[in-house]
A and B are shown apart, each in its own frame.
Chain A
Amino acid sequence: MLKVGEFIDYYNLVGFMSKRINRNNFVNYITGYSFVIPPLIFVVLFIMVPVFKSFYLSFTSWRGLGEPSFTGLRNYINLFTKDPAFYIALKNSLLFQFGATAGTILVGLILALLIDLKIRFWRFYRFVFFLPVVLSTIAIGFMWQKVFDPYGLLNTILEALTLDRFAIIWLGQSQWLAMGIIVFVTIWQYSGFPMLFFLAGLQNIDPEIYEAARIDGASTIKRIIHVSIPLLKNVFSVIIVLQLIFSFKVFGIVWVMTQGGPANLTEVLGTHLYKVAFTGQSFGYGSVIAVLIFIVSMIYAYLYTRISGYKNTLK
Chain B
Amino acid sequence: MIIAFSTSVILMGTGCKQEEVSEEIVKEAEETSEEVEQEIEEEPEQSAITTEPIELSFWTLTGPFWFEFKEYYESINPNVTINITAQEFGFLWNMGPTAFASGKEDLDFSYYWGGLYVDELGKEGLLVDLAPYYEEYGWSDYMYDGTWEYKTPGSGMFVLNYAWVASPFMYYNTDIFEEVGVEPPETFEDIFDISEKIKAAGYETWALGASDAMAIGHLYMQLLARYADKDTYDKYCMWARLDPSEESADIFKIQESKDAFNMIIKLVEEGVLAKGVDVMDDGSARQVFTSGKAAMYSSGNWGTNNIRGENPELNFDSFPFPVISNDTQYINNTAISGAFCDCLVIPISTKENNPEKLAVIVDIMNTLITDPEVSKMISNIPNSKALPLEELEKLMDPITVQQIREVEAMGYVEAIDVWTGPLRTEPYRAVTQAVVGGKMTAEEAIEEMYRIALLDLEERVEQ
Contact = CB atoms under 8 A, between A and B. Distances in A.
Given A262-B436, A264-B430, A279-B426, A65 B126 contact: yes
B463 A169 contact: no
Contacts of B291: 151
A278 B440 CA distance: 25
A258 to B, nearest CB: 7
B120 interface: yes
Given A151-B284, A172-B278, A262 B433 contact: yes
A278 B92 CA distance: 11
A136 interface: no
A20 interface: no
Contact of A65 (B95, B120, B275, B440): B120
Interface in A133-163: 149-151
B426 A263 contact: no
B161 interface: no
Contact of B455 (A64, A82, A151, A259): A82
B94 A279 contact: yes
Contacts of A279: 94, 425-426
B275 A169 contact: yes
Contacts of A149: 276, 279-280, 284
B312 interface: no
Given A151-B288, A261-B278, A285-B459, A275 B426 contact: yes
A282 interface: yes
B271 interface: no
Nearest to A85: B430
A69 B458 CA distance: 12
Contacts, number: 97
B74 to A, nearest CB: 33
B425 A280 contact: yes
A287 to B, nearest CB: 13
A212 B236 CA distance: 79
Given A169-B276, A171-B279, A258-B279, A280 B427 contact: yes
Contacts of B434: 262-264
Nearest to A61: B462
B221 interface: no
Contacts of A262: 210-211, 278-279, 433-434, 436-437
B98 interface: yes
A39 B280 CA distance: 44
A276 interface: yes
A281 interface: yes
B462 A69 contact: yes
A215 B24 CA distance: 89
Contacts of A282: 459
Interface in B210-236: 210-211
A71 interface: yes
Interface string A195-211: 00000000000000000
A25 interface: no
Contacts of A74: 458
Contacts of B439: 263
A249 interface: no
Contacts of B427: 280
B209 to A, nearest CB: 11
A66 B430 CA distance: 28
A154 B117 CA distance: 41
Nearest to A259: B211
A63 B463 contact: yes
Contacts of A237: none
Given A172-B437, A263-B439, A276-B426, A150 B455 contact: no
Nearest to A265: B437
Contacts of B98: 64
A220 interface: no
B405 to A, nearest CB: 34
Interface residues of A, number: 33
A282 B452 CA distance: 13
B279 A172 contact: yes
Interface in A269-315: 275-276, 278-282, 285
B126 A63 contact: no
A150 B291 CA distance: 14
Interface string B431-463: 001101101100000000001000100110011
Nearest to A173: B279
Contacts of A219: none
Given A149-B276, A262-B210, A63 B120 contact: yes
B280 A150 contact: yes
B436 A64 contact: no
Contacts of A169: 275-276, 278-279
Interface in B410-439: 425-427, 430, 433-434, 436-437, 439
B135 interface: no
Contacts of A71: 462
Contact of A150 (B117, B275, B433, B436): B275
A78 interface: yes
B341 interface: no
Nearest to A272: B426
Interface in A67-105: 69, 71, 74, 78, 82, 85
Contacts of B284: 149, 151
Interface string B108-127: 00000000010011001010
A65 B121 contact: yes
B259 to A, nearest CB: 21
B101 interface: yes
A278 B94 contact: yes
A265 to B, nearest CB: 8
B197 interface: no
Nearest to B275: A150
B97 interface: yes
Most A CB within 10 A of own CB, among B94, B293, B463: B463
Interface in A161-215: 169, 171-172
19 contacts: A65-B120, A65-B124, A65-B463, A66-B463, A69-B462, A69-B463, A71-B462, A74-B458, A82-B451, A150-B274, A172-B437, A261-B430, A262-B433, A262-B434, A263-B436, A264-B430, A265-B437, A279-B94, A281-B97
Interface of A: 61-66, 69, 71, 74, 78, 82, 85, 149-151, 169, 171-172, 258-259, 261-265, 275-276, 278-282, 285
Given A74-B458, A279-B426, 12 more contacts: A64-B98, A64-B101, A150-B280, A151-B275, A151-B284, A172-B276, A172-B279, A172-B437, A259-B211, A262-B433, A263-B439, A278-B95
